[in-house]
Chain A
Amino acid sequence: MRKGLITMAVLLLSGAMLFASAAPETQAAEGPIELKFWSLFTGGDGEFFNAMIENFNASQDEIHMTNDMVRFDDYYTRLTTALAAGTAPDVIVLHQARLINYVPSGALLPLDDYVSDEMLADFQKAPLEACRMDGSLYAIPFDVHPIVMYSNKALLEEAGITELPQTAEEFVEAAKKVKETTGQWGSLIDNTTGTYKAYTLTRLFVSLVNQQGGSMLTDDYSAAAFNNEYGYNALVWLQELLNEGVNPNELDYDAAMNMFRLGEGAFYFNGVWATGTMEQEEGLDFVASPLPPFMGKSAAWTDSHTFAIPVQKNQDPAKVEAAIKFMDWMTANADQWALAGNIPTRNSVLEGEAFNALPYRADYAAAVSTVVANPPTPAWGEIYETMSDLLESAVTKNEDPQTALDSMESTVNEIISHY
């Protein structure tokens, strides 16, 4: 009997210890401060990020950063549940567009008291201001990553195209010419769901609507605003590339990137984060340029990675301080992050030699003034994903553009009504 009770107690205790291990462990007095970080960088820029973390750890011995890679699609799920459970890592990365989902519920620590004014003065205004809500700073912008155009120089040369297309019509003509003379694809816009949804379609659609002077949502973010000639022109152009036979149908994100790397298509659209991967591809002679003003003025979809500190039950000031140091180092050395293609946010980096020695990046940086910020509404995440599905269907099945736009508009309005 006695034995039974003891066994029971041991069982219960070991059960309790299982749960206890989730609680914050106390810091050892000796040795560097251990910080935890979850990375969402899986789109070709992951290895550059990991290298930066290693460099950060090697650069000093006060702080040791450990980094876990999380599948991009599951990242926000894990992050949010961890925030709710109080088990989030010490520093997190968030897309600027997502701040709106976390700040109002008080999940992020306001950074104003921890960051020095000199540090902030070094940042570009636009990305920094995008991290402020109701007057408080909740995140530090790490990069800006707009969508850009990649062109295969060899294929263009073979097709006799000397200048990059600047309008929607020129682009279709150039793509046709490539297809006719080289037999390769004119453009490689991914348009179906694979590892990712057809985000490229949404990114281009957002860019094109804005290039004509329109926007995705009304000024107060209460309704869709793209069901007009702007949206129509954008959608018809995306469909035209398939109807003309210059862009493959049912192409997924990974396949599009692989085909461009293998030289099977002349033009490719993706975020700047793919630049580093392309540069590593041997035998690929390409040029990357800011998204051309296909439909009027320059405008390109963008987002921004930002660093933030989750509010913890027992916030350890030493860890907060260490986290700020980490953010400072990462942003101040973002020329290493620019190797992947991302655009740094600090003036000292943008003006620095290391950054300017890299190809294309200076052009990207110059184009940052024309990027389109994501609408700051909690509904945007669902709108963005849903638009990707609806555009996929409209483009791959060549649906009537007006009917498709009508249905997108009502779906988006329906989504907004739930938030």
Chain B
Amino acid sequence: MIPGNKDTRDGILFSLPFLIVFVLFMVYPLLFGFYISFFQWNILGTPKFLGLQNYAELFQDAKFWSSLWHTVQFVLMTTPVLLVMGFLMALLVTSKSPLKGILETCFFVPYIFSMTVVATLWAWIMQKDFGIINQVLGLLGKEGVSWLTSDKNAMWSISIATYWWTAGFNMVLFTAGIKQISKEIYESAIVDGASTFQSIIHITIPLVKPTTILCLILQIIASFNVFGQVYVMTGGGPAGSTRVLIQYIYETGFSYFRMGYSAAMSYILFVIIMAVSVMQYVFLGRRND
């Protein structure tokens, strides 16, 4: 250590403002949530100790399992599409197309809107009786589609809105990944007579793999945490067929004020996301080194 150097102290001081907020609003609620998951508590009254009863109940609760399944459905419906879309957008944006500047803006703009704006907008577009899509279909003499009011379509409709909203973020990550690939590799491929398509398959995709893994992990975590779009667009309907786990956690906690049970479910979701992330790290991340 150099005499007079107060790096450590300064470092702590500088991170203190963040740390205080972090502890107060992240660490403390996390620990408190775990603690309260062993109680029956309605927020206003005195908590009553239940032991593991909340966790035991959860395994019997059909609504918990159906909500978890809806969440998994959403993960499966959105993750692959969002990765492919993000990658294709990035290819366009990094291409030599004269339109690439405009395209980049178009692709990314939806992402800067807030969730409520996006979800409300799409809820109106997809409204069954007055929405613009069904109005247009009506003008063409076709029957309107139950975008949000049929349990077969509702989750897909929410997914479509999500594609539009968040694909741009993956594009940014992929664009950065693609730009890191050395130009010389492509040039020598051209010299060897490779087509653009071959370059993408044999150069871009393999070399962009670290980005793909990053996107995949981020996307799965984000999709597991889906709530806002569902809550605004369908309210979990029709008849609870799109109710996702976070929504069920929210309803139990903040509509029916069963905070303990709600906290217990949150911890199960936490364990699931953790397990998925670790698995991805082990199976996909390792081979990269």
A193 and B257 contact, Cβ closer than 8 Å, known pairs A8-B13, A250-B150: no
Q: Are A390 and B239 interface neighbours, CB within 8 A? A: yes
Q: Say yes or no: is A385 at the interface (Cβ < 8 Å to chain B).
A: yes
Which of A12, A106, A252, A389 contacts B128 (CB under 8 A)? A252
Q: Say yes or no: is B44 at the interface (Cβ < 8 Å to chain A).
A: yes
- B123: nearest chain-A partner, CB-CB: A194
Q: Are B13 and A192 interface neighbours, CB within 8 A? A: no
Q: Which residues of B contact A197 (CB under 8 A)?
A: 235, 237
Q: Chain A interface mostly helix, strand, loop or mixed? A: helix
Which residues in window 1-50 of A have CB below 8 A to B?
A: 1, 4, 8, 11-12, 15
Which of B44, B237, B240 contacts A80 (CB under 8 A)? B44
A15 and B255 contact, Cβ closer than 8 Å, known pairs A80-B44, A192-B237: no
Q: Are B44 and A83 interface neighbours, CB within 8 A? A: yes
Binary per-residue interface labels of chain A (101-124) against chain B in the complex, 1 for a CB within 8 Å, 0 otherwise:
110111100000000000000000
Binary per-residue interface labels of chain B (240-282) against chain A in the complex, 1 for a CB within 8 Å, 0 otherwise:
1000000000010011111001000000000000000000000
A107→B45 CA distance, assembly (Å): 9
Which of B16, B127, B146, B234 contacts A8 (CB under 8 A)? B16
Q: Are B239 and A104 interface neighbours, CB within 8 A? A: no
Q: Are B43 and A80 interface neighbours, CB within 8 A? A: yes
Q: Which residues of B contact A11 (CB under 8 A)?
A: 17
Q: Are A80 and B257 interface neighbours, CB within 8 A? A: yes
Q: Are B238 and A192 interface neighbours, CB within 8 A? A: yes
CB of B143 to closest CB in A, whole Å: 13
Q: Which residues of B contact A393 (CB under 8 A)?
A: 238-240
A250→B149 CA distance, assembly (Å): 6
A73→B235 CA distance, assembly (Å): 10
Binary per-residue interface labels of chain B (3-21) against chain A in the complex, 1 for a CB within 8 Å, 0 otherwise:
0001000100100110011
A258 and B44 contact, Cβ closer than 8 Å, known pairs A192-B238, A392-B237: no
Q: Are B128 and A4 interface neighbours, CB within 8 A? A: no
Q: Are A192 and B149 interface neighbours, CB within 8 A? A: yes
* Category for how many chain B residues contact A: 20 to 34
A390→B63 CA distance, assembly (Å): 12
Q: Chain B interface mostly helix, strand, loop or mixed? A: loop
Q: Say yes or no: is B130 at the interface (Cβ < 8 Å to chain A).
A: yes
Q: Say yes or no: is A171 at the interface (Cβ < 8 Å to chain B).
A: no
Q: Which residues of A contact B168 (CB under 8 A)?
A: none
Q: Say yes or no: is B236 at the interface (Cβ < 8 Å to chain A).
A: yes
Q: Which residues of B contact A105 (CB under 8 A)?
A: 42, 44-45
Which residues in window 62-98 of A have CB below 8 A to B?
A: 73, 76-77, 80-81, 83-84
CB of A22 to closest CB in B, whole Å: 14
Q: Say yes or no: is B129 at the interface (Cβ < 8 Å to chain A).
A: yes
A385 and B130 contact, Cβ closer than 8 Å, known pairs A80-B44, A107-B44, A193-B238: no
Which residues in window 369-414 of A have CB below 8 A to B?
A: 378, 381-382, 385, 389-390, 392-393, 396-397
Q: Are B237 and A4 interface neighbours, CB within 8 A? A: no
* Category for how many chain A residues contact B: 35 or more
Binary per-residue interface labels of chain B (39-62) against chain A in the complex, 1 for a CB within 8 Å, 0 otherwise:
000111100000000000100000
Q: Which residues of A contact B129 (CB under 8 A)?
A: 248, 251, 255, 258-259
Q: Are A77 and B254 interface neighbours, CB within 8 A? A: yes
CB of A212 to closest CB in B, whole Å: 25
Q: Are A392 and B127 interface neighbours, CB within 8 A? A: no
Q: Are B149 and A101 interface neighbours, CB within 8 A? A: no
A385→B250 CA distance, assembly (Å): 14
Binary per-residue interface labels of chain A (220-255) against chain B in the complex, 1 for a CB within 8 Å, 0 otherwise:
000000000000000000000000000010111001
Q: Which residues of A contact B42 (CB under 8 A)?
A: 101, 105, 378
Q: Say yes or no: is A313 at the interface (Cβ < 8 Å to chain B).
A: no
Which of B17, B235, B258, B261 contacts A193 (CB under 8 A)? B235
A250 and B146 contact, Cβ closer than 8 Å, known pairs A8-B16, A15-B20: yes
A248→B130 CA distance, assembly (Å): 14
CB of B287 to closest CB in A, whole Å: 45
Which of A15, A80, A83, A193 contacts B234 (CB under 8 A)? A193
A392 and B239 contact, Cβ closer than 8 Å, known pairs A101-B257, A381-B256: yes
Q: Are B149 and A381 interface neighbours, CB within 8 A? A: no
A385→B240 CA distance, assembly (Å): 10
Q: Are A418 and B258 interface neighbours, CB within 8 A? A: yes
Q: Which residues of A contact B148 (CB under 8 A)?
A: 194
CB of A75 to closest CB in B, whole Å: 10
Q: Which residues of A contact B257 (CB under 8 A)?
A: 80, 101
- A255: nearest chain-B partner, CB-CB: B129
Which residues in window 70-116 of B have CB below 8 A to A?
A: none
Q: Which residues of A contact B239 (CB under 8 A)?
A: 192-193, 198, 389-390, 392-393, 396-397
A77 and B255 contact, Cβ closer than 8 Å, known pairs A192-B237, A193-B239: yes
A389→B127 CA distance, assembly (Å): 19
Q: Which residues of A contact B261 (CB under 8 A)?
A: 418
Binary per-residue interface labels of chain A (180-203) against chain B in the complex, 1 for a CB within 8 Å, 0 otherwise:
000000000000111111100000
CB of B19 to closest CB in A, whole Å: 12
Q: Which residues of B contact A106 (CB under 8 A)?
A: 44
A80→B240 CA distance, assembly (Å): 24
Q: Are A255 and B238 interface neighbours, CB within 8 A? A: no
Q: Which residues of A contact B6 (CB under 8 A)?
A: 1
A and B contact pairs by CB, cutoff 8 A, 10 listed: A105-B44, A195-B235, A250-B149, A250-B238, A251-B129, A385-B255, A392-B238, A396-B149, A397-B239, A418-B57
Sample of 20 further A-B pairs with CB below 8 A, known A12-B20, A192-B238:
A1-B6, A12-B17, A15-B17, A15-B21, A77-B255, A81-B43, A81-B254, A83-B43, A101-B257, A105-B44, A193-B235, A193-B238, A198-B239, A250-B128, A252-B128, A252-B149, A255-B127, A389-B239, A392-B238, A396-B238
Chain A interface (Cβ < 8 Å from any Cβ of B)? 1, 4, 8, 11-12, 15, 73, 76-77, 80-81, 83-84, 101-102, 104-107, 192-198, 248, 250-252, 255, 258-259, 378, 381-382, 385, 389-390, 392-393, 396-397, 418
Closest 6 CB pairs between A and B? Answer: A193-B237, A393-B239, A105-B44, A250-B149, A105-B45, A77-B254
Chain B interface (Cβ < 8 Å from any Cβ of A)? 6, 10, 13, 16-17, 20-21, 42-45, 57, 127-130, 146, 148-150, 234-240, 251, 254-258, 261
